[in-house]
Amino acid sequence: MNRKLTAGAGIAASAAILAMAMVAGAQTAVPAPVASTVQPQIVQVGPKGNILLRGTIASVSAGTITVESWGGTWTVDVPASATVLPAAATDYANQFKTGDFVGVQGSVATNANWTVNATLVRDWTYRAALSSQEKANAQSAQGIRSAAPRDYIGTASNVSGSSFTLTTANGTVYTVNTAANTELVNRVWATLPFSGITGGDSVRVYGVDANGTVAAQIVRDVSVH
């Protein structure tokens, strides 16, 4: 297929080539955020070059993803100003995977063939996996909290190794130690690496205090989502 689009006629050519896809897209509901090997591909190009693209990731790199959809492989430029969802996937080059189903909004580039300048990229496959993880973590936390460890709420500081300092609103200071089996989560109960906790974050800790040192069973950083 000759995919060359001139800068002046790029939008019109895209609309003509993809008319069938646009009709199909108009009849297709937004895909539910569930993992599936069968997803509706959509390409809709507006008269001003605005585009809605849905398809499967073919490759991922910092600043760019390629997406297989109607017409072939699209290059999607993702600038730092673009919104990347889920929010946990801001580092999408490490989170998004080949084969993930994504939705892209932005504009058709007039200076490059089959290229989209993205304003929003949403990974539906990653969102489904994240939702399952959040649900599992929240359920696990219910079991831990039912064992009645105390809940400590405060601000994190001196984050180092596997421990940090927690200062409560009344000024009480605790040393919080985490272990391999400590459940580390963010505000929405997605798994959080220890490196995701930074000084100044609001943190809730479930655990047992022994003379000012808390052996944490759950650390929930509510400043991270």
pLDDT digits (tens, 9 = 90+) for 157-199: 999 999 999 999 999 999 999 999 898 988 888 888 999 999 9
Spatial contact of 142 and 181, defined as CB atoms under 8 Å apart: no
Can you name the residues that pair with 68 across neighbouring β-strands? 56, 73
Whole-number pLDDT of residue 69: 95
Same domain, 107 and 209: no
First vs last C-alpha separation in the chain:
43
Q: 212 lies in a domain?
A: yes
Mean pLDDT of 79-100: 85
Query: Percent of the chain having pLDDT more than 90?
Result: 54
- Per-residue pLDDT for 72 more than 70? yes
CA dihedral (203, 159, 137, 211) positive or negative: negative
Q: 160 lies in a domain?
A: yes
CATH number of residue 108's parent domain: 2.40.50.140
Which residues form the domain of 63?
10-127
Can you name the residues that pair with 44 across neighbouring β-strands? 52
- Per-residue pLDDT for 76 more than 90? yes
User: Using 50, 70 and 90 to split pLDDT, how confident is the model at 93?
Assistant: confident
Number of domains in the chain: 2
- Per-residue pLDDT for 225 more than 60? yes
Same domain, 70 and 152: no
pLDDT digits (tens, 9 = 90+) for 24-59: 333 333 333 334 445 789 999 999 999 999 999 999
- Per-residue pLDDT for 91 more than 60? yes
Q: Higher model confidence: residue 5 or residue 55?
A: 55
Same domain, 81 and 156: no
Q: 109 lies in a domain?
A: yes
Residue 146: partners with Cβ closer than 8 Å, 6 or more residues away: none
